[in-house]
Amino acid sequence: MESHVITRSVNERYARAVTTGEEMCCPTGYNYEELRAFIPDPVLKVSYGCGTPIGLTTVQPGETVLDIGSGGGIDCFEASRRVGASGQVIGLDMTDEMLALAQAHAPTVASNLGYAQSNVEFRKGQAEAMPVEDATADLIVSNCVINLSPDKDTVFREMFRVLRPGGRFSISDIVTDQPLPQYLIHDREKWGDCLSGALPFHQYWHGLRTAGFVNVHQVTLMPWRVIDGFHFLSVTLAGYKMTWTSPTAPQFATLKGPFSQVRDELGHTYQRGIPEPLDPRTAALLQMSHYAGLFLFSKTPTPLTRDDPRWVAVWPDEADCIWKGDFALLTGPLLEAQDDDGHTFSGDTLPVEICSKTRKVLDHALYAPYFGTFNRAGGHVPTEAETCQPSSGCC
């Protein structure tokens, strides 16, 4: 299906929803009672998405927020409240009916917030060619919109262009566990359902990193729908446009765990307990969230041994493997990670089947932020326990 056909179909679908009140498919997580205190009901009724943009909780007064696919304006108006009267919010959408609705209610929201005038501007445009100046936004949010684009790599590059150095994104979207077949990709109706345009998670993640973002990691991930054996997952991802400066510039980093070995986004490999020298660029990366807790930083080489209380490990049970249909995705920011049972997980591959022992390890609080897990069996699997080691090829 050609790109312009997809765009027209999606545009018509969302334009129709403004007048018909059609329910869209995606799961949401809004607190409507709280939002109703300052956002009119007509806006709340056309609020579609697959998760509340969690990044809005990080907003500081005076910042500039860009919402890609702003629709009726719900996320823009919540951002308006958080950035304060001195901040700015830009809502981008391609549907005239959605833009008209959002613009009509902007003055009411501003008045409810006690602002002299609205700090929200709605612009018409497409995510592949944003009518936004370079280095404008401190934060980019998007809620179940990028999967509707037929050219997501261009969207990711545009996001990087309009974000200020040091800025970040927080986007919720629908991804899949594997490439979709052509009959789903060419299903026009399912494009508007956030289905046909969904990428496999590893391709989506790779696209963001290729655009230049770093520390791209999962905030939330949950199974959503299964169609003909293809699993659709609702995910919220965060990432940054780095300035590559390190305020403290440690000279060495030692992997504490819980992983036995990891590879960062710059391609450096670390083994638990072994100190590695850092250049300023790597030091800046490793001190970011989702990295810093894995490492011990020091001015001199500081090795760790298993009897050191700073050594961290989650050992697998001494038990047989049971195959229950579970699969795992490494969801960043690490390019590769190895557990203490010899399994290596890569962010650039399809989901890996895991047994009951590994599932328990990955569900541990120290591992869970780096993985998404789901079950393809769809019910009880009457399999036998199996004595299994990674080297045997069965685990």
| Cβ 226 vs Cβ 153: under 8 Å | no
What residues have CB less than 8 Å from 90, skipping those under 6 apart?
64, 65, 66, 67, 76, 120, 121, 122, 123, 132, 136, 137
| Cβ 128 vs Cβ 158: under 8 Å | yes
The pLDDT confidence band at residue 202, using thresholds 50, 70 and 90, is very high
**Rounded-to-integer distance, Cα 322 and Cα 358, Å:** 10
Tokens of 54: 């969690």
Tokens of 272: 């638990």
pLDDT in tens, 149-171: 989 999 999 999 999 999 999 99
What residues have CB less than 8 Å from 33, skipping those under 6 apart?
none
Q: What is the pLDDT of residue 46?
A: 74
* Alpha-carbon distance values, 1 to 5, 156, 182 (Å): 7, 21, 10
Q: What topology does CATH give the domain 245-313?
A: Ribosomal Protein L9; domain 1 (3.40.5)
Exposed/middle/buried for residue 280 (C-beta within 10 Å: 0-12, 13-18, 19+): exposed
For the beta carbon of residue 15, count every other beta carbon within 10 angstroms: 15
- What percent of the chain has pLDDT above 90? 70
Q: Would the pTM of this model clear 0.75, i.e. be above it?
A: yes
Average pLDDT of every residue of the chain:
88
**Rounded-to-integer distance, Cα 87 and Cα 136, Å:** 12
The pairing of strands 230-240 and 163-176 is antiparallel
Judged against a pLDDT cut of 50, whether residue 357 lies above it is answered with yes
The pLDDT confidence band at residue 15, using thresholds 50, 70 and 90, is very low
Which is higher by pLDDT, 318 or 256?
A: 256
Q: Which long-range contacts (CB under 8 A, 24 or more apart) does 184-190 make?
A: 184/227, 184/228, 184/230, 185/1, 186/1, 188/1, 188/5, 188/6, 188/9
Tokens of 360: 């328990």
Domain-wise residue ranges, the chain: 3-240, 245-313, 326-392
The pLDDT confidence band at residue 136, using thresholds 50, 70 and 90, is very high
Which is higher by pLDDT, 379 or 208?
A: 208
The pairing of strands 261-263 and 252-255 is unpaired
Q: Which residues is 372 bridged to in the sheet?
A: 329
pLDDT in tens, 313-346: 999 998 888 999 999 999 999 999 999 999 999 9
In the chain, what is the greatest distance between 2 CA atoms, to the nearest angstrom?
70
Burial 89-107 (b: 16+ CB within 10 A, else e): bbbbbbbebbbebbeebbe
Q: What is the pLDDT of residue 11?
A: 47
Distance of CA 206 to the CA centre of its chain: 12
With both helix axes pointing from N to C terminus, report the angle between 201-210 and 152-162 in degrees, rounded to the nearest 10.
40
Sheet holding 252-255, edge to edge: 275-277, 252-255, 295-298
Arithmetic mean of pLDDT, 372-376:
94
Quick check: do 3-240 and 245-313 share a fold? Answer: no
Q: What is the pLDDT of residue 235?
A: 93
Arithmetic mean of pLDDT, 308-314:
97
Q: What is the pLDDT of residue 50?
A: 53
Distance of CA 363 to the CA centre of its chain: 19
How many angstroms separate the first and last alpha carbons of the chain?
Answer: 41
Q: Return the C-alpha torsion angle 339, 344, 347, 351, nearest 10.
A: -100
Q: What is the CATH number of domain 3-240?
A: 3.40.50.150
